[in-house]
Amino acid sequence: MDLGLAGRRALVTGAGKGIGRSTVLALTAAGAHVVAVSRTQEDLDNLVRECPGVEPVCVDLGDWEATEKALSTVGPVDLLVNNAAVALLQPFLEVTKEACDQSFSVNLRAVIQVSQLGPTTTIRTGSTKGALDMLTKMMALELGPHKIRVNAVNPTVVMTPMGRMNWSDPQKAKAMLDRIPLGKFAEVENVVDAVLFLLSDRSRMTSGSTLPVDGGFLAT
């Protein structure tokens, strides 16, 4: 299936590892020119060695001024994948100031928000996901008249290195898997496939949606 991504210019945040890195590789394979943003230069160097056509930008998105400066010369971008994330699995009463300071941080055709945190029992994570979903809807309303679509991809636990680290305890994993009808966690390619579909013209009438990639978790 031709997704119509060839020749388009895409910017992917959190591109150094996991879902972001795989999204960069998939977009490049589809013919897009990709600007890869990561705060870790080593990760970007490795990515460029594997995929020489990628344009790397090393910046911490938590630094507003540095981000604005680093991206000021990137030029027009057709597709944006907001993927940068952290996983801070703390009970609400134990959340620290430092944890609260961690966050996600143009001629666009489509914007994709990727909520990597996944469903957990922590109040903070649920609040973050809810806020991102509402931001997606409001962006879709305001940017729609400019012909810009905005959608979110909401996976369950994804087997990235970060996901494997946080869910390596079999007892902890079983409690979550028992709530997923398909009985398994998502793989990175499951999320990337959803992202590419929403970036493509195949979804040209889809905007303001939050697409779960969760094996049926929300159906339980």
Q: Is residue 86 part of a domain?
A: yes
pLDDT tens-digit readout, 85-129:
655 555 544 555 554 444 332 344 567 666 544 433 334 456 667
Domain assignment present for 45: yes
The predicted model scores a pTM of 0.84
Residue 72 inside a domain? The answer is yes
Residue 175 lies in a domain: yes
pLDDT for the residue numbered 101:
43
How far apart are the C-alpha atoms of 100 and 163, rounded to whole Å?
Answer: 20
Paired tokens of 46: 């490795």
Q: Look at residue 212 and tell me if it is in a domain.
A: no
Q: Does the residue 211 lie in any domain?
A: no
Do residues 15 and 48 touch, judged by C-beta distance below 8 A?
A: no
In a domain, residue 217? The reply is: no
pLDDT confidence of 2, banded at 50, 70, 90?
Answer: confident
Range of the domain at 166: 9-205
| Model confidence pLDDT, tens digit, residues 135-187 | 889 989 998 998 899 999 988 899 998 889 889 999 999 999 999 999 999 99
Does residue 4 belong to any structural domain of this protein?
no
- CATH code for position 98: 3.40.50.720
Q: What is the pLDDT of residues 7-40, one digit of tens each?
A: 999 999 999 999 999 999 999 999 999 999 999 9
Instruction: Give the count of domains, the chain.
Output: 1
